Amino acid sequence: MNRVNTVSVSDFLCVLLFMATGGLILLGSMSLPGPEYDPLGPAGVPQYIAYIMLFLSSLKLISLIRSMKRFSLSQNVEARKRGQYAIAIVFFISFFIYLLLLNIGGFSFSMVTFAFLVLSGFSLMNFNVSKLPLIVAVSVVLSFGLTYIFADILNVVLPD
């Protein structure tokens, strides 16, 4: 097993982004009303999610700082590959197209979600064609499972 023992600036940026997101969620949930009919109230779940995000991000930040003592940041600058940027670009473009198609309407939630999951899974697996059957199978289960959970169990109106 080949382990990468370098620390990158992007790891720090991701941790800081998650910490900022957790802080914003926590700050935004403070303005929600307190509990009336249930023990958590409308602010309970967002606050728990924010606390979990802040806690896990703090643990990751500590591990990055510990590993930074052993390895220098300059080693990872040379280790970057052009393919990683292509994967990130394809993922983010497919994410924004997914949101755009859901907002435009006229497309089935399950079909758009299936296409998004296949495209993002294929890009995150380094465009490996041999992994495509697994990606398609997981995408089918997730897209139709999410449709069932949201539409039938939670009674959320999904785009048709």
Contact by Cβ (8 Å): 136, 115: no
Q: Residues 69-101: pLDDT tens digits?
A: 665 544 554 445 556 777 778 888 888 899 888
Helix H segments across the chain?
9-29, 44-70, 74-79, 82-104, 109-124, 132-147
Q: For the chain, give the longest Cα–Cα distance.
A: 56
Q: So what's the pLDDT on residue 133?
A: 94
Q: Which two tokens mark 122?
A: 């294929």
Contact by Cβ (8 Å): 43, 34: yes
Query: How far is Cα 113 from Cα 59, in angstroms, rounded to an integer?
Result: 32
Instruction: Report which of 141, 102, 106 is spatially closest to residue 121, judged by C-alpha positions.
Output: 141
Instruction: Report which of 27, 23, 21 is spatially closest to residue 43, judged by C-alpha positions.
Output: 27
pTM of the model: 0.53
7 CB neighbour count, 10 Å cutoff? 21
More confident of the two residues 144 and 90: 144
Instruction: State the average pLDDT for the chain.
Output: 81
In the chain, where the domains are located: 9-78, 82-153
Contact by Cβ (8 Å): 139, 114: yes
Query: How far is Cα 98 from Cα 107, in angstroms, rounded to an integer?
Result: 10
Q: Residues 8-48: pLDDT tens digits?
A: 777 888 888 889 888 888 888 888 887 777 777 777 888 88
| 55-123-103 Cα angle (round to 5) | 75
